[in-house]
Every structure is written in structure tokens, then in C-alpha cells.
């Protein structure tokens, strides 16, 4: 077998492994957040679904990209959803409890306040809107 084909197969295997590992980590973080969300309820004034948004004051991406994307959500969906902003430097135990690895991190909470989606890093408003629509759909 030519060496280039062997290298290609190794590269594909590594990519598949990385994708599987990413999805496994997201599943673990969501399972942990679901367990911990039942123990310590986030205050959202009883309005669900909602977005739980972990940030820090030093996070430039949070200020310049993520916050504007969160503000755009109301124009995309035609209604406002509560956004609970948590400063991970002020509440590190809460960030640890929710499995936050980096900021910005957003969780989409369903009607019961249970995390259904997690996004590590900056995420576009359209993706958040799609995740909220999935939470709003019955079943």
C-alpha cells in the first residue's frame, strides 16, 4: 500500500477519534450540568427556556462577539429569552459545578431549567436560535 494512503487513513482515523472525543466530552459536561442544576437552581425568574452564559470581565471575545450575538437573538426569534450572565471569576465554584472549561460558554436550559445544549467558545446567534427552537419543540 502506498505510504500516502497509509498516512491519509491515519489522518482520517485521528479526525474521527477527535470528533468522537469532543462529542463524548460534551455529553459528560451536559450530564454533569444536569445533575448539578437540580441541586442548585439558577435564578431566571421562572422564565424558561433560558440561556446560561459564563463569561469573565477580561474576555474580549465575550464583549466583542458573544454579547452582540446574544442581543441579536431577539430579532431572529421575534421574542426575548432570559440570559443569565455568570462571571466565572466571581463564582468559580458555579463554573466548576457546571463543567465550564473556557469562556464564553453558553448552556441552553429547557422549560424545567435542565441544560439541553452546551457551546464552548463563541457561538453565532443563528446556532443559539436553532438550539432554542429544538428546546421549544414538543417531544
The strands making up 115-120's β-sheet, listed across from edge to edge, are: 83-87, 50-55, 105-109, 115-120
Digit-coded pLDDT (tens) for 58-105 = 999 999 999 999 999 988 888 888 899 999 999 999 898 888 989 999
Residue 31 has pLDDT above 70, yes or no: yes
| Residue range of the domain that includes 57 | 3-136
What size, in residues, is the chain?
Answer: 139
pLDDT of the residue at 48: 75
Torsion, CA 86, CA 87, CA 91, CA 96, rounded to 10: 70
Task: Report the CATH number that the domain containing residue 120 is assigned in CATH.
Answer: 3.40.30.10
Q: What is the mean pLDDT of the chain?
A: 87
Residue 111 has pLDDT above 60, yes or no: yes
Residue 20 has pLDDT above 60, yes or no: yes
The total number of structural domains that make up the chain? 1
Residue 40 has pLDDT above 80, yes or no: no
**3-12, 33-42, 49-58: the lowest-pLDDT one:** 33-42
pTM of the model: 0.76
pLDDT of the residue at 67: 94
Residue 41 has pLDDT above 60, yes or no: no
Amino acid at each position: 500500500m502506498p505510504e500516502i494512503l497509509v498516512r491519509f487513513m491515519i489522518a482520517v482515523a485521528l479526525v474521527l477519534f477527535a470528533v468522537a472525543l469532543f462529542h463524548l466530552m460534551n455529553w459528560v459536561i451536559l450530564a454533569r450540568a444536569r445533575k448539578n442544576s437540580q441541586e442548585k437552581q439558577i435564578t431566571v425568574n421562572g422564565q424558561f427556556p433560558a440561556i446560561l452564559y459564563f463569561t469573565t470581565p477580561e474576555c474580549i471575545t465575550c464583549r466583542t462577539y458573544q454579547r452582540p450575538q446574544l442581543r441579536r437573538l431577539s430579532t431572529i426569534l421575534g421574542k426575548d429569552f432570559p440570559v443569565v450572565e455568570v462571571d466565572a471569576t466571581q463564582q468559580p465554584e458555579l463554573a466548576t459545578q457546571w463543567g465550564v472549561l473556557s469562556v464564553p460558554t453558553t448552556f441552553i436550559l429547557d422549560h424545567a431549567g435542565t441544560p439541553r445544549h452546551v457551546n464552548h467558545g463563541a457561538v453565532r446567534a443563528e446556532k443559539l436560535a436553532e438550539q432554542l427552537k429544538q428546546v421549544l419543540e414538543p417531544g
